[in-house]
Amino acid sequence: MGDFNQTVILDAIRRSEQGLSRVELVSAVGLAPQTVSNIVRRLLDSDLVTEAGKTSGGAGKPRTTLRVHAAGSYAVGVQLDPAVTTSVLLDLMGTVVARRQVETPQGNDPAQVLATITAEASALLTESRVDRERVAGLGVATPGPIDKASGTVLDPPNLLGWHHVPLGSALASSTGLPVLVEKDVSAAAAAEIWVSGRRSTPSFLFVYIGTGIGCAVALDGEVLHGVSGNAGEIGHLVTDVSGPPCSCGQRGCVAVTCTPRSLVREAAGLGLTAVLPPDAADSEVTAAFLDICGAALAGDEAAGRLVDQAAARTARAVATLRAMFDVDHVIFGGPFWAPVSARYLAAIPALLAGHPVAGERPLEVTGTVLGEDVTAVGAACLVLDRALGPRRERLLLQG
Ligand SMILES: [Zn+2]
């Protein structure tokens, strides 16, 4: 029970704005005063919490306030995106203390990508001069599908040449750190939970705008992972029954109506951009996509209509998801969120407010406050969570 109680106490301290005294901890976590005192001693000895002044609350002796020691533990988070690899170092309070970004090696050789992640993680630790002993682990957020239990990347449509790559075990041996592998969108949602961690246990949808469109569901402060860690595949939700055919056999799926590639294809059909071959490289698609979004922002009406149409289709998918999961907040983010964010945020709230499927309760629609690093930050948060936070599966184990 010792370890579990320790994570409960550390989590309670982490979530308190002003810190907590031992007496306040006893009432917050419901453990015996002697148990709390022993565990606090252990946390102080291991530098995970620190004593931060005394408060005198009426009668009795002054109480010592305990706060989390931000530099007591760290985690590395990496987002492996087909185009760029972003790495961050997070301290125990969730603050980004170092960051790096490089182009992801192109081609179809996972070994090159593994070498890049290993080098980036190492450079991050060297530059920040953090004691390796204090690094709880490395979290990697990758395009799915994955096998979460073994840390294997299966056959991601957006990573050419990857087939059952044991990302977790390979990085564990190359970095010497414990490694956790997570699907990109689930990692992004984990970061949002950390940000709102002091508020309570949030429930929301995270809609990920990347090379593909994905979704994560957080209910009562926990991300839903699914049996294999691949929950949130919304690519084949139909948003437009008369839309273009999809590889799945349906018409008008999210995958062919809401992605950057589909937007570029439609723009080419209208003569707004050059026609790209079906196997055009991601970089070409990205450049054309950014051009269209830029034109829309600059007032080009045809480009604006295209982006708004993608927003409307996305809103249809979100309406269904909202009805399924009964959340009151939708957060958008991901590598291609920024270029569409202004028009999406202008259009989508009104579309959802009047939508017959979405339900009547108000639905808050926002962009991530963590910007383009949200996914890498989330991968690091998951490492800290695993190392330090009380989680449902531990409760079950203890029960
Ligand atoms: Zn489909």
Residue 221 vs residue 255, higher pLDDT: 255
| Mean pLDDT score, 306-333 | 96
Q: What's the CATH fold of domain 2-68?
A: Arc Repressor Mutant, subunit A (1.10.10)
Q: For residue range 154-202, what is the model confidence (pLDDT) as tens digits?
A: 998 878 889 999 999 999 999 999 999 999 999 999 999 888 765 567 8
For 153-183, letters b (16+ CB in 10 Å) and e give: beebebbeebeebbbbebbbebbebbbbbbb
Cα 262 to ligand 1 centroid, rounded to whole Å: 12
At 283 the three-state DSSP class reads helix
Identify the pLDDT of residue 365: 97
| Mean pLDDT score, 97-104 | 93
Q: Is the dihedral of CA 159, 161, 166, 171 positive or negative?
A: negative
Interacting residues of 316 by C-beta distance below 8 A, sequence separation 6+: 239, 240, 355, 357
The domain 72-190+375-392 belongs to what CATH superfamily? ATPase, nucleotide binding domain (3.30.420.40)
Cα 238 to ligand 1 centroid, rounded to whole Å: 7
Who surrounds ion ligand 1 at CB < 5 A?
A: 236, 246, 248, 250, 253
CA distance 76 to 138: 5
Cα 280 to ligand 1 centroid, rounded to whole Å: 20
| CATH topology agreement for domains 2-68 and 72-190+375-392 | no
Cα 236 to ligand 1 centroid, rounded to whole Å: 4
Identify the pLDDT of residue 57: 62
Closest CA to 168 of 151, 182, 153: 151
CA distance 288 to 275: 10
Q: For residue range 236-246, what is the model confidence (pLDDT) as tens digits?
A: 999 999 999 99
Q: For residue range 388-397, what is the model confidence (pLDDT) as tens digits?
A: 765 544 444 4
CA distance 33 to 326: 40
| Mean pLDDT score, 77-85 | 91
Q: For residue 113, give both structure tokens.
A: 């990508």
Residue 56 vs residue 277, higher pLDDT: 277
Q: For residue 303, give both structure tokens.
A: 């480009």
- Give the pLDDT band (50/70/90) at residue 145: very high
Cα 348 to ligand 1 centroid, rounded to whole Å: 22
CA distance 37 to 204: 36
Cα 241 to ligand 1 centroid, rounded to whole Å: 11
CA distance 376 to 270: 36
Cα 254 to ligand 1 centroid, rounded to whole Å: 7
Q: Which of 46-55, 107-116, 198-207 has the highest mean pLDDT?
A: 107-116
Cα 114 to ligand 1 centroid, rounded to whole Å: 31
Cα 242 to ligand 1 centroid, rounded to whole Å: 13
One-letter amino acid at 327 equals V
Cα 363 to ligand 1 centroid, rounded to whole Å: 27
CA distance 306 to 293: 9
CA distance 148 to 154: 10
Cα 371 to ligand 1 centroid, rounded to whole Å: 29
Cα 146 to ligand 1 centroid, rounded to whole Å: 20
Per the DSSP assignment, residues forming a β-bridge with 223 are 218
Query: Which range among 11-15, 119-123, 279-283, 394-398 shows the weakest confidence by mean pLDDT?
Result: 394-398
Cα 282 to ligand 1 centroid, rounded to whole Å: 20
Cα 255 to ligand 1 centroid, rounded to whole Å: 6
The domain 194-372 belongs to what CATH superfamily? ATPase, nucleotide binding domain (3.30.420.40)
Q: How far is CA 35 from CA 15, 26, 32, 38, in A?
A: 20, 9, 5, 5
Cα 249 to ligand 1 centroid, rounded to whole Å: 6
Cα 256 to ligand 1 centroid, rounded to whole Å: 7
Cα 245 to ligand 1 centroid, rounded to whole Å: 8
> Within 13 Å and on the Cβ side, how many CA atoms surround 260?
27
DSSP run (H or E) holding 141? strand 135-142
Cα 265 to ligand 1 centroid, rounded to whole Å: 16
Tell me phi and psi for residue 89, to 5 degrees.
-115, 120
Q: For residue 121, give both structure tokens.
A: 């993680």
Q: For residue range 330-386, what is the model confidence (pLDDT) as tens digits?
A: 999 998 999 999 999 999 999 999 788 888 889 999 999 999 899 999 999 999 988
Confirm if 126 and 378 have CB atoms less than 8 A apart: no
CA distance 17 to 11: 12
Tokens 């990697």 belong to 140
Identify the pLDDT of residue 208: 95
Cα 244 to ligand 1 centroid, rounded to whole Å: 10
Q: For residue range 9-59, what is the model confidence (pLDDT) as tens digits?
A: 988 888 887 889 999 999 988 999 999 999 999 999 989 999 988 776 666
CA distance 129 to 110: 29
Cα 223 to ligand 1 centroid, rounded to whole Å: 25
Confirm if 290 and 340 have CB atoms less than 8 A apart: no
Cα 179 to ligand 1 centroid, rounded to whole Å: 33
Q: For residue range 212-234, what is the model confidence (pLDDT) as tens digits?
A: 899 999 998 889 989 888 999 99
Q: How far is CA 370 from the centre of its chain?
A: 10
Q: For residue 273, give both structure tokens.
A: 């951009």
Cα 341 to ligand 1 centroid, rounded to whole Å: 24
Cα 310 to ligand 1 centroid, rounded to whole Å: 16
Domain boundaries, the chain: 2-68, 72-190+375-392, 194-372
Secondary structure letter of residue 275 according to DSSP: P
Cα 147 to ligand 1 centroid, rounded to whole Å: 22
Cα 248 to ligand 1 centroid, rounded to whole Å: 4
Cα 397 to ligand 1 centroid, rounded to whole Å: 39
| Mean pLDDT score, 120-147 | 95
